[in-house]
Each structure stands twice: as C-alpha cells, then as structure tokens.
Structure 1
Amino acid sequence: MSSETQRLLSELGSQLGAGAILAGSDVDQRYRDDPDGKLGVLPEVVLRPRDTAGVATALAACNRLGQPVVVQGGRTGLTGSARVQPSEVVLSLERMTSLAAPDQQAASIVAEAGATLQAVQETADGAGLMFGVDIGARGSATVGGNIATNAGGIRVLRYGMYRAQVLGLEAVLADGSVLTSLKGLPKDNSGYDLSQLFIGTEGTLGVVTRAALRLHPKPASEVNAFCALPSLDAAIALLGLLRQKLGPLLSAYEVNFAPLYDAMVATMAMPAPLPAGSPVYVLAEIQGSEPERDAERFAEVLMQAVEDGVIDDVVVSQSPREFRALWDVREDANRLLFSMKDLIGVDISIPLARMGAFLRETEAAIRAVDPGADIYVFGHLGDGNLHYQVRTGDLAAAYDIVYRSVAAAGGGVSAEHGIGLDKKKWLHLVRSDAEIATMRRLKAALDPNTILNPGRVFDLAPSALR
C-alpha cells in the first residue's frame, strides 16, 4: 500500500463509521468495472460514506492530502467518467440510497445520490405521480450519476433533460464545504443558482449528495405505435405532423434505421411487430389524461399519415402488455449491439435539418476507409439524439470520422452520455477555445488542488492552476 494511501487512512481513521472504508484485499473487483469493457485499475481504497457529512469528511481529508478522487454511482456511464485511474481512490455513493416520501402538493421528491432511477420511478408511481426521465439502465443508474451527466433518455421530447427535473440539490465541494438548496421552489432567483454548476459537469466541480426532483402527474393514458417508413424525410415529416396535431400528448419519438432492425429481427426472442426490410422504423408514444379520446386522436393522425404515404405500415398498442412489448423491441437494440465485437458506439446530437446529409456523408467517409464496415443507427429522433454504431477493423478512424462529421453538421459530440475520459480529445471540435478556457477557470476556482475526477471532460492547462 502506498504511503499516500496510508496517510489517508490515518487521516480518516474511524470518522466515517463501520464499513465505510475498504482497503487492500477488501476492495471488490466491481469498483474497476466499466460497461464498455475498458477496465480501470483496482483502487487501493474505496470510501463509502453513508451521508453528506461523511462525504464532506472524506473530501476534506483528500483535499488536504492532494489525493485524487474518482466518484462512482451505479457505474453505468459510457465515457469513462467513473473509470479508476492510477493513484485515485474511489468515493462510492452506493450506501446513500434513501428516498423521502413524495410531496404530492409540490409534486417533488428528495433523493440521495445513490438511489437508483428505478427506485425514484417506483416511489413516484406509488404516490400516483411519475418521474420524467427513463433510460435503459434504470435499475443501476443512480440519481447522482444522472445529474452529473445530465441524463436524457426516451422522453426528453415531453419532459426535458435531467436538468429540467432538478428543483434543487445538495453538493459537497472539493474542500468539504456543503452547499444545500433543497427547498424545491419552482421560482427562486435569490442570487446565483449554484445547483446548475453541478448538473452535467461529471463530478469535476463537486459531488452531488441529495437532490429535490420534480415529479409529474401520472398519465391516465399511454399508447404507442411502431411504424415502418420509406425514408428519414418521412420520419421527420411524421414527427412534425404528430407535434402539430397532438401537441404535448407526444411524449417519445424513437428511430431505428436499416439494417439494425433487420439484424434485430433475425435474432429476436420476441415476435417482431413489423416485418424487416423498411429503410426506417419509428416508435412514437403519447401520454395523456383522456384515455378514450387520446387513443382516438393518435389513431386518426397515424391513419392520415398512412393515407398520405408518410407511413408504409403501422401497429398500435391496444393494451398495457402490447405497449410494453413495443418498448421491449426498442430496448432490444442494446442486446444485439452489446454482443458485437470491434464496435464503436457514439452518442451524438445532430440538427434535424442536417441529419440526412450527416448520415450520407459520414457513411461514405467510413466506407472509403473500410468498405466492409457495418453501420447501425438508432436513437431519440424527437430531440436529434442518435446512437451511431460502426463495426469495423479501424476503430480509431471511425471515431474520428464520426466526430468530425458531427462538428461539420453543427452537432454535439455528446448528447446525453457526457465527455468523461473517452471523448475529451474531440471536445474542441464543438466547443470554442473561450468556452473550454471558462470551464477550466471554473474547475480551478472550485477544485484548486484538482482532486475531483481529474482528467475528465478536459485536461487542465498549467496556467489554469495559477
């Protein structure tokens, strides 16, 4: 064990309570796990406080000793923010899982950072409310990690990103200072809204320990439809039609491009809702308060789109079981893609007006390097977020082509997964020198010893530390 680690253990002693410090052979392999398979190093120490005071104690000690810390929640991130690097200790929030009873009048709930998204969803549901964010990793992804990456998911179209769900939060700075703003007031312009500093900044400015989260009325109706379409232009036209005719009823709009759906159908354990072979598939969802009328309006718009040649074929859910089955098809894309080797997975944002050109130009550039590459694209078309996968023998070239094409299209190199360790070399393509310099100045001001998630999002220039 290193002398730095021994000093940290001596400094903290018994301050964090029983079971809060794991060291040496007691550190489980799970703390180096990474969903991308890029294992981090096994940390010498894992700190597992039970509350905000414990987080503050741990960070204050690490700051005094200049000990780098990597913050971990559910370890479901896809850009390496929680991947342990040499000399780092882990600050795990896995024991901070409590949820307060929902405040039904204010439509809010206070959650600790280690609570899972699914636990928030289920607690809200039990109170007759709903939480507006949903992602595939709901059973493992945590509130703190979702806030740190400003998670998006399938219903951004209706409810917004995770940022829109945060009414206030509690965070600990690198020196152990605690900032608490959990009033949950919808309107409070009493000076700076410091909570915003910690949303989407991947644990580099402070550690979120609790959050007051916005809840929404539970929909009385939920209906979805799986559509086969002749082109991306048709999918964009259908999106516009649904928005125009249904307004806020439209809650999700997911896209799946050929040949991904064809490959899914070939290996799918469940019955395919529609035959393979179409260029584009869309899963559209509505949520409303008038079950009979909502479903009728949805069906009317879809049938009009069929008559106008926008939709080639469509199946509409008629029961909760069918509703869930169509969403299972959407989530089956991950099952197939995670089974593939030599695959890059890219989370990007593209303006709808440029999406067609982006897809054509990027595919041509990839095939110029690797004619045999397989390209699989799906995502959240309603908010311009695509998950772009390439199976190729030249992974480095594919990453570079995709990210440079994103920049040329006026897009973002990360729509909802963050930057972490893995994307920071491309951040400069979509953020100006002035923007990155400002990020560094914030980091240097709030974490002058650079102990919090160092090296994530960007590397600090030496001048930023003066």
Structure 2
Amino acid sequence: MSLDIAPRFVSGNAASAPVAPALECLMRQLPAEALLSGDGIDARFRETLSAVPAVMPAFVMRPRNAAEVSLCLAACDAVRQPVAVQGGRTGFHGGERACAGEAVLSLEHMTGLSAVDPAGGTLSAEAGVPLQAVQEAADHAGMFFGVDIGSRGSATIGGNVATNAGGIRVLRYGMFRAQVLGLEAVLADGTILTSLKGLAKDNSGLDLNQLFIGSEGTLGVVTRACLKLHPKPAAECAAFCAVPSLSAAIALLARLRAALGPLLSACELIFPDALEGALALTGAPRPVAPAAFYVLAELHAIHPAHDTDGFSAALMAAHEDGMISDVTVSQSPREFRALWDLREACSGYILTLRNVIGCDVAVPPAKIEAFVPDAARIVQALDPAARFPVFGHLGDGNLHYVVETDRPQGVVEAIYRCVQGLGGSISAEHGIGIDKKPYLHFCRSGAEIAAMRRLKRAFDPNNILNPGRIFDPLPTTPAQGAAA
C-alpha cells in the first residue's frame, strides 16, 4: 500500500516522532470519531493495570474494521510512527502502555460477534469483543468456551490472542492457542491476512496464525478470531479442600487426574495468606478448617450422577489417605459459584495491598514442591517480614507468586532466578510486555531471542508495532538496513 505523505517532525518530542503527517493523512480517510488528538484524548487511554504510569498518546486511532486498521497502520508505517496496540487494557506488564511519542491503536469499536456455528462448533469474534460476551454466546447456544479469567468482562479477544491467555481451565481445555481455529490480522504495512475457515485440519503450508498468538502485537494486529467451542458440561461441581502440606496438594492433584481424567477441569492452589485476605474482603464464611494450603478442584461432568459420584469417591479416598484434612463440596450452582467467588476474591484482595510484588511464573508441576520453599527462603533473606498471599493454577504449574514486602529491591530477580533454576518460565500467561523484558533471558536462550528478532524484522521492518515490547531490536547498520 503506497501513501503520499511528506514527513514533518514534531519539535520537542523526545523521540522526534513524525506524528503530524500520519494523523493528517488519516483525517482525510477516516471518520472524525475514529481519531482523537490533543485535548480530545480521553484519560482512559493512559490507564492500565501495570504499576508504571503511561504517557498521553500522540494521538488515538479507533478503527471499526480490518480495512480501517489497514489504513491506520499503513499511514503510520509510511512515516515510522510507533503504535501501541490496546484492547481492554487489562495487562499487567506494560504491553499496552503508551510510551513517549507513540500513537494508540484502540480496537474498542471492533465488537462484531457472529452467531454460533453448531455444526462446526465455532464462532467468530472481532478483536474488541469482551471474553465474557463470547462465553455468554456459547452458553446461549448450548456450548462452552474453554478459557476463563478474572477480567472476563473487560479483557478482549484480541488481547487474549495476543497474550495467549490461560486462566483457570488450562488443565482441561488448554491455553487460548488451543481455542483458535483461524485469524484475521493486519501487518505493519497495512497488509490484511485472513484465515477464518474454521478448519480443524489444514496443513497447507506454514500456520501463520500461530505466529500472532502470544506475540503481544509485535508482528501484527489481530482483528478477528474464529474460536473453537466445546460441549457444554452437563453439570459442574467444585470441592474446596484443606490440605496439610504442599506434597499432599500435589498428591491430591495426581489422585484426581487418575480418577477423573479429562473431567477434572481445574485445580487451584491457595496459600493461607491469600485465603484469609479473601475471607476478610468478602465476609464469606470459611469453607474449611484452617490448613497449611488449600486446593479448589472442579469437575465438568458429562454424566452427572455417575461423574459426581466418582468425584466424591476420589475425594473420600484422598481424605482417608491423609491428603485432605477437610473438604466442602458444592451441592448447587449457587454453592459452586460461591466457592469460585472466594478464589477470585484472592485477586481483589491483592489489589487492596500497598507494597506487593506479583510474579506470574510457571514451573513444572512436579517441581512446585521445591520452588515454594526455595523462593520463600530467598525472599525472606531479603525481607524476613515478607508475606506470601500466593494463589494460582496447580494443575498446570502456574503460580501468581505475590509477595507483600516493603523491601522490594532484588525480590523480583531473586524469584525469577529460582524459576530459572527449575526450568520454568517468568511469564505463564500475562506476557512479557515492557516490564519483564530485562528478565527474558532467564527462560529464553540467546538463539531463541535472536530468532524472535528476525521474525520481528521480517514482519515489521520499520519497528512501529508495539516497539520495545518483549525484546529490543538490535541496532541496524546501514548494510543491514539495505538488506532488509
């Protein structure tokens, strides 16, 4: 796509970014409501969940469809205007945070949602559709969408794809990657790639869709996704378990997986500090007696009577073998929701604390028993008074390792080094963004990072899409620039 734009650089901008030409070009091509600049930029475009405040964007683009996204990116690419891509702005690590000189591409006006295809078990959602809207559409059609996260009401499908969102039911349904059967995406130069066939099998060359999933908007902007749906569970049942030790929690997970197979849809681990905080925040009754740790297990039943009986039998056997000291099993949808509300209140409790560090990490499930005491020992050497309101997904090894400390210096790096030593990841489901970039080498080799940079240069040679997220590009020599 060729655009006739004469670059004029804005004085006083730290990055000397060519803001005005791209904006002027788009003003001739897009509706007035699709562009915001100056005092017309709403403060929400600098509001994110990450700890570092964002700057006011150079301008904001709000396209309504892929064609308008194409116009926006082509205009920006022509003058090398950096762009921060925003969905629901629920990320934790700065991927969507506007930096100095960046324009914002907001997908909030792209909210088209197709009807469910019952034969294929799919639906199509534009990037700005909230996750909850997809869940509800599937439910109304008698089906089920496999990913659920606490920010379901505001997190968008485009952001979920870009960060490869996980959530509570990865154990059964997999990460967001497993839910995607096709994508529409726009490259930095405005090229639109469309693969929305919804085919379960398609081996016609490289699967370009997979490159965009988890790429955090650095290779292209996802504008629509064809999503896989699952049969709706005939019944749901949750068990809140008190367990005497971490080894007992891990043994309980193994026992339930052996007894229930794929019917076990979630298995959460909650530390005492997190549960006590959630109870105080909500005023909910204590579900079980105090214990060293707590496990919340969920069954998605196919044959309700048979499957729930099997769940109860497995829990009873685990209790007899000392894996469980106390347990509450939901007997109704209301009780089921109440137990999950308590788990979700752990996140709400964390937001009430002032001096917290949150590390979204993953280690092999078999190594959680080694990670938890090792990490605590390292952190308490830096701050003996540190508290650990930790919770997370036992079934897939992902812990939201939260530390309450007024001595944060060195804590994050110490935790990540512990993760590195156990062959884990510094980011299980929230991405790298800007804030985790200095630690990427703890879980990715130099060769892997170099390969990522080569992909970035191939898809976005002018480095306009979410620049500086995940990794920094290597300096480009004149010879390399000519080759590119």
The answer, yes or no, to whether TM exceeds 0.5 is yes
Q: Which amino acid aligns with 2:471?
A: F
Choose from 388, 412, 432 the match for 1:375. Answer: 388
> Offset of 1:285 from its aligned partner?
0.3
Aligned position for 1:46: 60
Distance in 2 between residues matched to 1:437 and 1:17, nearest whole Å: 40
- The secondary structure found in structure 2 opposite 1:374 is coil
Distance 1:344 1:102 in 2: 41
Measure how far apart 1:361 and its partner are: 1.3
Q: Deviations over 1:81-140 (max 9, x none)?
A: 000100000000000001000100000001000000000000111111110000000000
1:28 aligned to 42, 66, 89, which one? 42
| Number of the residue aligned with 2:10 | 2
Q: After TM superposition, list the pairs within 5 Å mapping 1:86-165 onto structure 2.
A: 86-165=100-179
Q: Which residue of 2 aligns with 1:226?
A: 240
Residue aligning to 1:294 = 307
Task: Find the partner of 2:284 among 270, 273, 277.
Answer: 270
**Structure 2: gaps (5+ residues):** 1-8, 12-17
C-alpha deviation, 1:369, in angstroms:
1.2
Distance in 2 (CA, whole Å) between partners of 1:120 and 1:367 is: 43
Q: Deviations over 1:226-261 (max 9, x none)?
A: 000001111111111111111111000001022322
Asked if the contact 2:82/2:103 (under 8 Å) is kept, the reply is yes
What amino acid sits opposite 2:350 in the alignment? L
8 Å Cα contact 1:170-1:208 kept in structure 2 = yes
Residue from 177, 188, 195 that aligns with 1:174 = 188
Alignment of 1:380-399 (within 5 A): 380-399=393-412
Equivalent of residue 365 in structure 1, options 378, 386, 411 = 378
- Work out the CA distance in 2 between the residues paired with 1:457 and 1:7: 28
Give the TM-score, by structure 2 length. 0.94
Which whole-Å deviations, capped at 9, do the CAs of 1:344-396 have from their partners, x for residues lacking one?
01100011222122111111111111111112211000000000011112223
The residue identity in structure 1 corresponding to 2:402 is: Q
Aligned residues: 465
Aligned to 1:77: 91
Q: Percent identity?
A: 57
Q: Distance in 2 between matches of 1:82 and 1:158?
A: 29
**Contact 2:361–2:400 (CA<8 Å) still a contact in 1?**
yes
1:401 offset after TM fit, Å?
A: 0.6
Query: Which amino acid is the alignment partner of residue 52 of structure 1?
Result: A
1:308 to partner: Cα distance: 1.1
1:281 counterpart = 2:294: yes
- Asked whether 1:256 is paired with 2:256, we answer no
Structure 2 counterpart of 1:430: 443
| Structure 2 counterpart SS, 1:300 | helix
Bigger Cα displacement from structure 2, 219-228 vs 390-399? 390-399
| C-alpha separation in 1, matches of 2:250 and 2:82 | 46
For structure 1, list consecutive stretches of 5 or more residues without a partner in the other structure: none
CA-CA distance at 1:463 after TM superposition:
4.4
Is the Cα contact below 8 Å between 1:204 and 1:456 reproduced in 2? yes
The one of 340, 343, 346 equivalent to 1:330 is 343
Q: Deviations over 1:40-91 (max 9, x none)?
A: 0011310000000000000000000100000000000011000010000000
Partner of 1:405: 418
Aligned partner of 2:332 in structure 1 is: 319
Aligned-pair distance for 1:5? 2.3
Question: What amino acid is aligned across from residue 330 of structure 1 in structure 2?
Answer: R
Over the aligned positions, Cα root-mean-square deviation in angstroms equals: 1.2
Secondary structure in structure 1 of the residue aligned to 2:392: strand
Match status 1:64 vs 2:78? yes
Change (3 A) 1:267 1:60: closer
2-structure distance, mates of 1:396, 1:213 = 42
17-26 vs 436-445, which moves further: 17-26
SS in 2 for 1:376: coil
In the alignment, residue 362 of structure 1 is paired with which amino acid? A
CA contact (8 A) 2:279 2:342 kept: no
Distance 1:211 1:251 in 2: 24
Of stretches 149-158 and 2-11 in structure 1, the one that deviates more from structure 2 is 2-11
Given candidates 260, 281, 290, the residue that maps to 1:246 is 260
Report the CA distance between 1:11 and its aligned residue. Answer: 1.2
| Residue identity in the other structure for 1:51 | N
Q: So what's the TM-score if we normalise by structure 1?
A: 0.98
Question: In 2, distance between residues paired with 1:57 and 1:101?
Answer: 28
- Of stretches 13-22 and 3-12 in structure 1, the one that deviates more from structure 2 is 3-12
Alignment check: 8 A CA contact 1:8 1:62 kept? yes
Q: Is the 8 A contact 1:347 1:413 kept in 2?
A: yes
Counterpart secondary structure, 1:375: coil
CA contact (8 A) 2:183 2:195 kept: yes
Q: Deviations over 1:309-348 (max 9, x none)?
A: 1110000000000000000010010111111011101100
2: CA distance, partners of 1:21 / 1:458: 29
Aligned partner of 2:6 in structure 1 is none
State the Cα deviation string for residues 408-441 of structure 1 (Å, max 9, x = none): 1110000000000010100001111000000000
